[in-house]
Amino acid sequence: MYQKTKIDIAIRDLIAACGFDKSEGASEDFYFMLLDAVEGVQPAFEEAHAQNLRMDMGAALASEIEDCLKYLASKN
């Protein structure tokens, strides 16, 4: 069974780990960055499943989030 409080804490911790502050605007920026990260792993996910393989989505998302954050940092 999931625990809402732990999920809330984990999301807040992830937002902070990505360097975003606690403002509503920053949470929106985080959302769009996360959306880009999910879209970034989508082709690899689809390819893996086409080959009847499974993927470590946690590792794939972590790597893609890092790439998105590096890109955002390079723009500033």
Q: By the 8 A CB rule, do 26 and 20 touch?
A: yes
Do the Cβ atoms of 30 and 18 come closer than 8 Å? Answer: yes
Contact 38, 61 (CB under 8 A): yes
Q: What is the pLDDT of residues 23-68, one digit of tens each?
A: 999 999 999 999 999 999 999 999 999 999 999 999 999 999 999 9
* This prediction's pTM: 0.86
> Sign of dihedral through CA atoms 14, 18, 20, 21?
positive
Contact (CB, 8 A) for 65 and 34 = yes
| Reported confidence tier of residue 2, pLDDT bands at 50, 70, 90 | confident
